[in-house]
Amino acid sequence: MKKVDPQRHAERMAIKQRIMNERIEAADKDQGVLLVLTGPGKGKSSSGFGMLARALGHGMKVGVVQFIKGAFSTGEEAFFRNLPNVEYHVMGEGYTWDTQDRERDVQTAEAAWEVASRMLSDPSFDMVLLDELNIALRYEYLNLDRVLDDLQARPAMQHAIVTGRYAPEALIELADTVTEMKVVKHAFKDQGVRAQKGVEL
């Protein structure tokens, strides 16, 4: 291990503490946050579900709409669906390359948005997770303006989380916090490892 001088370390950390405290003091607004998790890397949906768990840990009420249901049964649905304080809707009928029927995909997405829209206008929901919404927007299954209007008009203290690749530019502009997930390496694609329960499924 490289040697680190304990005194110098303590000094650096004291400076860092001061900067962190100043930043925390400057950040004094409480508000619902619109968070977008996008990019090709692994972890977008799981991150949304992790925040859901965190919110439930604080006794908050959460809503979930999954816009794309995977071909597989998913662990997150089994886990969250029947918990108290959770309203859970799975609206997609499989990946669009499985349905191969655009009209049906549009109808399914619109029905899903009706549910999302109701949650986004109900202040009793502290957090709403719109899982894989970006995919529905990418394929233009939903009207982007309507989606943005509903997100913007939501209760001031409500958090909304949107996941999926290809977040549209206008959604990124509206959002408060945006993370782009970059693939550095992927076992499934690079190394012939099958999607694993608990990780992908």
Please report, as residue ranges, which positions from 150 to 179 form the binding site for its own copies (by CB under 8 A): 159, 172, 175-179
Kindly indicate which of the ranges 27-35, 108-116, 117-125, 148-156 contains the residues binding its own copies, using the contact rule CB under 8 A: 27-35
CA distance 113 to 130: 9
Q: Which of residues 54-73 bind its own copies (CB under 8 A)?
A: 54-58, 60
Closest CA to 165 of 199, 128, 185, 139: 139
In angstroms, what is the minimal distance from the CB of 189 to its own copies? 7
SS3 117: helix
**Strands lying side by side in the sheet with 86-90:** 34-38, 159-163, 127-131, 62-66, 86-90
Query: Smaller CB distance to its own copies: residue 75 or 155?
Result: 75
CA distance 62 to 119: 9
Q: By CB under 8 A, tell whether 50 contacts its own copies.
A: yes
Q: Which of residues 77-106 bind its own copies (CB under 8 A)?
A: 77-80, 95-103
Query: Smaller CB distance to its own copies: residue 96 or 117?
Result: 96
Tokens of 9: 């370390």
Residue that is written with structure tokens 């400057």 in the block: 26
Q: Which of 67, 68, 112, 126 binds its own copies (CB under 8 A)?
A: 126
Size of residue set near its own copies by CB under 8 A = 93
Q: Which of 53, 111, 153, 170 binds its own copies (CB under 8 A)?
A: 53
Query: Smaller CB distance to its own copies: residue 106 or 115?
Result: 106
Tokens of 42: 């692994």
CA distance 91 to 108: 6
73 φ/ψ angles, rounded to the nearest 5 degrees: -75, 140
Tokens of 191: 């190394």
Q: By CB under 8 A, tell whether 47 contacts its own copies.
A: yes
In angstroms, what is the minimal distance from the CB of 44 to its own copies? 8
